[in-house]
Amino acid sequence: MTATILDGRAVSRTVQAEVQAEVQAFGAQYGISPCLAVVQVQGDDASERYARTIQKRCETVGVAFRLEQLRVDVSQEVLNATIGALSADDEVHGILLQMPLPAALSSDDAVRHLDYTKDVDGIHPVNAGLLSLGRPALVPGTPAGGMELLQRYDIPLAGRYAAVVGRSAIVGRPMAALLVQANATVTVCHSKTPDLGRVLRSCEIVAVAVGRAGIVTGDMIAPGAVVIDFGINVLADGNMVGDVDAASVGEVAGALTPVPGGTGPMTNVMLLRNVLIAARRQEETRS
């Protein structure tokens, strides 16, 4: 491995300490803590574990945490009403609707009841639109975390050629928009891109969010390129790997995020930062 490892664990600790200090300053100014409400429909173990992880992180930095757990057979009307009530509650600054939802429920429908100023997961169409226009928005934590890693390692983006593999609403598309905002020239690749290697070899920055282990290999990467791996894939032996074949890419790339320990640890801390950003905007508007 010759690539520099972009250490998400270390950077996330730094960002978390900054958020903690800012939460204290917010408390001193407004006499309250920023508050995150998580809406979680029961029945998915990973989602329940994630809610507990977020709760612990909130407690660490001083963000108030509220969990709205709904039964697995909850109706769309009750889910929508829960999100609507939290949106109208002045004590709640951020709302996270945990995915996945049971098949009978529509997240698009639920999000229509979400106040976009509290949308700390960046899933509301207004936030997606603001981001694509290059205006201030609440940005999904995963791509925001990828950008934060690039910035903390002083990796220049302006004027550079970048590729994003994957075009999901939560990772690929916002990552492409953020890179455009940073003045990179961006190509978005997806399942219909005929020759991925041809595109990636022409790029100095490569971000991958597909969900397929080893889809990007060293022969697809230009020497010295910076590679951000968002992929999380659990192999049959229980090991977690990214979308990038770290062994071959690590010999060619200039820098690489490891999996685990790269973009993953950044996601939660960027969520906390979004709660703080949302709380500041809401309290400034009120005062």
Give the residues lining the site for ligand NDP (CB under 6 A).
142, 165-168, 170-172, 189-193, 196, 209-211, 215, 230-233, 263-264, 267
Q: Which is nearer to ligand NDP, 64 or 196 (CB)?
A: 196
Assigned token pair, 68? 């709205």
How far is residue 74's CA from residue 70's CA, in Å, rounded to a whole number? 6
Residue 217 has phi, psi (to 5 degrees) of -115, 165
Question: Which residue is at the shortest CB distance from ligand NDP?
Answer: 168
- Give the residue with the Cβ less far from ligand NDP, 172 or 250: 172
Q: Tell me, rounded to whole angstroms, the distance of Cα 285 from its chain centroid.
A: 26
Spatial strand order in the sheet of 64-70: 64-70, 35-41, 94-97
Closest CA to 83 of 108, 48, 51, 54: 108
Smaller CB distance to ligand NDP: residue 85 or 234? 234
DSSP-based three-state secondary structure for 209: coil
Which position has the token pair 């664990």?
A: 9
Query: Smallest gap, in angstroms, from Cβ of residue 230 to ligand NDP?
Result: 4
Give least dist CB 18 to ligand NDP, A.
Answer: 19
Q: Supply the minimum distance, in Å, between the C-beta of residue 164 and ligand NDP.
A: 9
Distances (CA, A) of 279 to 31, 63, 83, 118, 119: 12, 10, 17, 8, 11
Q: Closest separation between CB of residue 143 and ligand NDP, Å?
A: 9
Identity of the residue, 80 or 166, whose beta carbon is nearer to ligand NDP in the bound complex: 166
189 CB burial (10 A radius; 0-12, 13-18, 19+): buried
What b-and-e string marks burial along 88-110, b requiring 16 or more CB atoms within 10 Å of the CB? Answer: eeeebbbbbbbeebeeebeeeeb
Contact 187, 162 (CB under 8 A): yes
CB of 27 to ligand NDP, least distance (A): 28
Please identify, using beta-carbon distances, which residue of 34 and 262 lies nearer to ligand NDP: 262
Least separation in angstroms between CB 192 and ligand NDP: 6
Rounded to a whole number of angstroms, the minimum distance from the CB of residue 91 to ligand NDP is 28
Nearer to ligand NDP, 16 or 282 (CB): 16
Concatenating the DSSP letter of every residue in 162-193 gives EEEE---TTTHHHHHHHHHHTT-EEEEE-TT-
Residue placing its CB nearer to ligand NDP in the complex, 9 or 71: 9
